[in-house]
Amino acid sequence: MSKTDFVGKPEKKVDGRKLVLGKPVFTDDFRLPGMLYAELLVSPHAHARIKNIDASKALALPGVVKVLTYKDLPRVNYASGGQSYPQPLPFDQVSLDDKVRHVGDRVALVAAETPELAQKALRLINVEYEVLPHVTDMEAAMKDGAPVIHDEPGVEGIFDTQHNVIYHIDEHVGDIEKAFAEADHVFEREFRTPKQHHAQMELHACITYWDEDDRLVVRTSTQVPFHVRRIIAPLIGLPIKRIRVVKPRIGGGFGGKQEILLEDLCAHMTIATGRPVRLQYSRRQEFMSGRSRHPQIIKFKLAVKDNEVTGTELRLIGDTGAYASHGLTVQMVAGLKSLTLYNAPNSHFLCDVVYTNTPPAGAFRGYGTMQCEFALEVMMEEIAEKLGLDVIEFKRKNLIKVGDNMWVAQKLGEGREGYAQVMTTSAFDECLKIGVEATDFYNKRKAYQNQSGSKRKGIGVATVMHGSGIAGLDMGAATLKMNDDGSFNLQMGATDLGTGSDTILAQMAAEILSIPVEDFIVYSSDTDFTPFDTGAYASSTTYISGGAVRNVALEIKKQIQAHAADMLEWKNPEELELRDRKVIAPDGRSVTFEQVALSSTHQMNQHQIMATASHMSYMSPPPTAAQFVEVEVDTETGEVKVERMLMVVDCGRVINPITAAGQVEGGMQQALGFAHSEFSLFDESGDMVNARLAEYHAYKAHEMPATDVIFVQTDDPNGPFGAKSISELAIDGVAPALVSAIHDATGVWIRELPLTPEKVWRSLNQ
């Protein structure tokens, strides 16, 4: 790797100062004169028709300005998942409907002069429901006679309405039946994963208002501002040119804000009242009206011949809840990534995506991959044990190698056909070697073989991979403009969710222009003033948006060299070096960036040094990692104490080690909750009984075990400065490594998450 001045350095976050000082940077920090406060009335029933709504008592309350119901809004179908055009069908939602399909579904919107008045008005709205039979179990939803959740006319794209099956996927490569027939061993296992919630600190929030040019401004906490604008335009009856979407700082997203949840309703209310409107979820609404991870039933069947995996079949059922949202794409990514990890030449993916009367699932960090890689990794270790093989060497032998074609990539794109992929870089071997040495893996496994007493220790391992953007689909753009003092405005559509992407993208520009990061004023995600970006999802920002920043910085470098060459009367601009805010000629003469800026705008051949560039890629290079987890299990109670987690990560070249380490540490924390403690519990009425942070156990900072990150840097030829993605890879490995560690401690395999004390105890005592 070549020496760099800014890339690879632990630069401070460009937004760090204003965040720690508590500046008003988030959506809900903003207030406008005359702003109304909106509150959402949601369904208390899992499945019902609305026979009538009477809002007269609410409207009679002084200070209540407007109530919107399905009677007041046009019926325009859409899909709320913030995905690229054209969005996958079905468009199975409308802004307000006369049927509700889960507890927490939209019923009415109230706007009042204060939040308290709006909440009081909700209690005065009389809704007459016809309660319908409901189903919350995905397998039950597919059976004959189950309640039909989407029976409305005019919705296209549902595979089997009567059995609540939205999508049916059946794709294969090679000859899977031949692989099973010729195998030395065939293994089959079933796994189940829970409905996890994002539990981000900042609630969903949106403020809409008319600007002085009679254009609608939507200030919203979103990962996908450009998708928001495109999706709400037909819903609210405005052309895109009359809508501006502004993304401020975001207090956590993790995929939950890759969804259009509040923006259309808030805009409808501003249009109806002519006034600014603020709408924010409560914490309970985050659980019941927001989005979650897809619960899955995962069945793997593997063929092994000469200790090599020659065939893999994945049968998957995904529960998308009441609306399709990301149901198709999450399951397709699950199939693509898990079937590629060991890359059997004979593979079969069979999948059903199912409606249930539960709050919709959507995008969530890991996006299907973490569920299926959990199942596959546990199964691979169990196979190694049954065959008497060393688990590290068995996995190492079978993992995808550099130069291998990814066999299923073309069949399984994201909601459409994909593109052929080749593994360009990988550090699986190095990650495993370093992790084994750092944890003393083999000595601990040997020591734990003959434990006594009720407290048993174990160490587990998993290997995982992810992707870097969506091949052939994601696109990002960036603009650079030089100011009079030689500083720059860097304007990007890329959305910083708190990940530090604004900082690392500025570091890339700084590296090319050889100036400090502090010389960039960074703006991101305003649909009027920043160029397009598909949004912060699919682990695309570093790889895709970073490519755009690299391209635009190279163009600006050429413009600076060209103008400085005129100033210095130097014939060949490309011979001029940029260093320390100067342009230096081979003979030692130089001009400063400030002199170049002043000359270009005020004196010589006057023009603005400015450019816009885009980037997309038909490659999605996978980052790779090895995950290690150490535990102590109380065999009398089933309690599992996680003592240490280590992830050894290849994300290509690390742009900022501080923000990268933060991504891995945060990912492991979220993954530990998924594996150990987080789940959604529904009662017989379809209501979630643990829809509060007091009962929903996400890991808190003081509960975390020792958590370590080691980076193994590769140099991917497709990524900016050799970088690949990191944020989603960080969440993929904890669950299988935790199950592996519990097995090492107790000898028991557990195939259903989360690993609650009761579940572990029952497994130990069966």
Closest alpha carbon to 78 in 87, 66, 65: 87
Domain end residue (candidates: 265, 288, 311) = 288
Q: Is 168 inside a domain boundary?
A: no
Q: Is 155 inside a domain boundary?
A: no
Residue 250, φ and ψ in degrees, nearest 5: -120, 135
Strand blocks (E) in 179-307: 185-193, 205-210, 216-220, 243-246, 277-280, 296-305
612 and 483 housed in the same domain: yes
404 and 547 housed in the same domain: no
Examine the pLDDT at 281 and tell me if it is beyond 80: yes
What mean pLDDT value characterizes the chain? Answer: 97
- What is the domain count for the chain? 3
Q: What is the pLDDT of residue 3?
A: 82
Query: H helices of 86-200, where?
Result: 115-122, 138-141, 176-182
Domain end residue (candidates: 235, 265, 288) = 288
Rounded distance between C-alpha atoms, residue 240 and residue 65, angstroms? 27
Helix axes 369-386, 657-676, angle to 10 degrees: 70
The CATH number given to whatever domain includes residue 106 is: 3.90.1170.50
Q: Which two tokens stand for residue 738?
A: 């935790």
Which residues share a beta bridge with 93?
Answer: 78
Helix axes 546-568, 501-513, angle to 10 degrees: 30
CA 9, 13, 17, 20 dihedral sign is: negative
pLDDT tens, position by position, 628-680: 999 999 999 999 999 999 999 999 999 999 999 999 999 999 999 999 999 99
> 508 with 546: CB under 8 angstroms?
yes
Examine the pLDDT at 2 and tell me if it is beyond 80: no
Domain end residue (candidates: 616, 639, 656) = 616
Q: Which two tokens stand for residue 153?
A: 């006319």
| SS3 state of residue 257 | coil
Q: What is the pLDDT of residue 1?
A: 58
pLDDT tens, position by position, 14-42: 999 999 999 999 999 999 999 999 999 99
**Strand order from edge to edge, sheet including 488-492:** 520-524, 488-492, 475-482, 610-616
Using CA atoms, how far residue 636 sits from 454, 757, 764, in Å, is: 6, 10, 9
Q: Give the mean pLDDT of 356-368.
A: 98
Q: Give the mean pLDDT of 325-334.
A: 97
Q: What is the pLDDT of residue 766?
A: 84
Rounded distance between C-alpha atoms, residue 153 and residue 668, angstroms? 44
In terms of residue numbers, what domain contains 243? 31-132+201-252+257-288
Q: What is the pLDDT of residue 415?
A: 87
Rounded CA Rg of the chain: 27
Examine the pLDDT at 96 and tell me if it is beyond 90: yes
629 and 584 housed in the same domain: no
The CATH number given to whatever domain includes residue 329 is: 3.30.365.10
Q: Is 352 inside a domain boundary?
A: yes
Q: Please, how many CA atoms are within 13 Å of residue 490, restricted to the half-sphere of its CB? A: 29
| SS3 state of residue 8 | coil
Examine the pLDDT at 386 and tell me if it is beyond 70: yes
404 and 352 housed in the same domain: yes
Q: Is 714 inside a domain boundary?
A: yes
Q: Mention every residue, 6+ apart, whose C-beta is less than 8 A from residue 196.
A: 292, 293, 364, 673, 674, 678, 679, 680
661 and 526 housed in the same domain: no
Residue 681, φ and ψ in degrees, nearest 5: -110, 120
Long-range contacts of 435-441 (CB under 8 A, 24+ apart): 435/461, 435/626, 435/627, 435/628, 435/646, 435/648, 435/710, 436/392, 438/628, 438/646, 438/648, 438/708, 438/710, 439/628, 439/630, 439/644, 439/646, 441/392, 441/628
> Is the peptide bond between 754 and the residue preceding it cis, with omega within 30 degrees of 0?
yes
666 and 644 housed in the same domain: yes
Q: What is the DSSP letter of 410?
A: T
355 and 500 housed in the same domain: no
CA 163, 165, 166, 169 dihedral sign is: negative
Q: Is 160 inside a domain boundary?
A: no
Rounded distance between C-alpha atoms, residue 232 and residue 245, angstroms? 11
Looking only at the bridges linking them, the beta strands covering 36-42 and 277-280 are: parallel
> Is the peptide bond between 86 and the residue preceding it cis, with omega within 30 degrees of 0?
yes
**Poorest-pLDDT segment among 3-12, 178-187, 320-329, 731-740:** 3-12
Residue type present at position 663: Q
Length of the chain: 766
Q: What is the pLDDT of residue 662?
A: 96
pLDDT tens, position by position, 557-569: 999 999 999 999 9
> 132 with 49: CB under 8 angstroms?
yes
Residue showing tokens 């097995």: 743
**E strand or H helix at 613:** strand 610-616
Q: Is 536 inside a domain boundary?
A: yes
Looking only at the bridges linking them, the beta strands covering 216-220 and 243-246 are: parallel
Residue 738, φ and ψ in degrees, nearest 5: -65, -45
pLDDT tens, position by position, 489-542: 999 999 998 899 999 999 999 999 999 999 999 999 999 999 999 999 989 999
Helix axes 225-236, 263-273, angle to 10 degrees: 50
**Strand order from edge to edge, sheet including 308-321:** 165-173, 346-355, 308-321, 296-305, 185-193
Q: What is the DSSP letter of 96?
A: S
pTM for the model stands at 0.96
Q: Is 642 inside a domain boundary?
A: yes
Q: Is 68 inside a domain boundary?
A: yes
731 and 747 housed in the same domain: yes
What is the percent of the chain with per-residue pLDDT over 70, rounded to a whole number? 100
Residue showing tokens 């990962």: 223
346 pLDDT band (50/70/90 cuts)? very high
Q: What is the pLDDT of residue 414?
A: 86
424 and 501 housed in the same domain: no
523 and 637 housed in the same domain: no
Q: Give the mean pLDDT of 270-291.
A: 98
Helix axes 734-746, 657-676, angle to 10 degrees: 50
517 and 543 housed in the same domain: yes
Using CA atoms, how far residue 78 sits from 49, 96, 320, 623, 671, in Å, is: 20, 11, 16, 34, 32
Examine the pLDDT at 574 and tell me if it is beyond 90: yes
> 674 with 194: CB under 8 angstroms?
yes
681 and 610 housed in the same domain: no
| SS3 state of residue 649 | strand
